[in-house]
Chains A and B, each alone.
Chain A
Amino acid sequence: GAGVSQSPSNKVTEKGKDVELRCDPISGHTALYWYRQSLGQGLEFLIYFQGNSAPDKSGLPSDRFSAERTGGSVSTLTIQRTQQEDSAVYLCASSLALTGKGETQYFGPGTRLLVL
C-alpha cells in the first residue's frame, strides 16, 4: 500500500491478557517508530528501529512492553499482562532514513486499545 498500515484498528481485551499490534511501514523506509497517545495527551515515544541496528527501547514504559521488527519491515508491538492504564491509541510511523536532521515521519492510523 501507499501508506503505513496498522492492525487491528481497534482492540478490546481483558486485564491480564496479552495483545499484539502490527505495523506495516512504507516500502523502502528503513526507520520505524512506535508511539502511544492517551486521551488528551501528547504522543509518547516508545521504541524505534533503524535497519539492522539495535532498537532504541528507551521509551518503553515497563518490561511488559516489547517490540520486534522482522526482516527490516513489519513490526509487532506486544503488551503482556495488559493493565487498564495501557488503554490508548498506539501509533506507528516510518521514515526514509534516520539522520537526525528532521526526516519526515509518516504515521499509520493507529490501533485503539481498550483494556477492560
Chain B
Amino acid sequence: SQKIEQNSEALNIQEGKTATLTCNYTNYSPAYLQWYRQDPGRGPVFLLLIRENEKEKRKERLKVTFDTTLKQSLFHITASQPADSATYLCAPNTGTASKLTFGTGTRLQVTL
C-alpha cells in the first residue's frame, strides 16, 4: 500500500540556520508533490508544488527538491526564523485524483 514517511521527531534548529525536512514515499509514483505548513489550531496552508519532471523549485527562502529515483523530497528553509516554527506536511500525489494524501508532518522549532 502507499506509504508516506516524514520524520515524526521535532526538528530543532537555531535561527539563521538552514532547516531540511524529508519526505519519503513508497509503492507509488506521484506526478507532483506539495508542501503545506500547519500552525497549531489552524488548517494547512499551501507553500510549494513540484512536478515529477522538476528537480528543484524555489520560492523566497524555501527550496524543494524531488528525486523520483530515491522516492524522496527535501524541503529547505534557509535563514530560518522563529516565525518558521510550525508543522510541515508533504503530499505526494499521482494526479489521477485530486484528493490529497498527506504525510504525518514534521514539527520544526526555530530558536533564537
Contact = CB atoms under 8 A, between A and B. Distances in A.
Contacts of B99: 33, 45, 48, 56, 59
A43 B41 contact: no
A110 B44 CA distance: 10
B100 interface: yes
Given A98-B98, A99-B98, A41 B49 contact: no
B105 A42 contact: yes
B79 to A, nearest CB: 25
Given A43-B44, A102-B34, A31 B102 contact: no
B43 A101 contact: no
B10 interface: no
With most chain A CB atoms within 10 A of its CB, the pick from B32, B43, B93 is: B43
Interface in B54-111: 89, 93, 95-105
Interface residues of B, number: 25
A20 B51 CA distance: 37
Interface of A: 4, 31, 33, 35, 40-43, 45, 48, 56, 59, 91, 93, 95, 98-110
Given A42-B89, A108-B43, 7 more contacts: A42-B102, A43-B100, A48-B99, A100-B95, A100-B96, A102-B34, A110-B41
Interface of B: 4, 31-32, 34, 41-46, 49, 51, 89, 93, 95-105
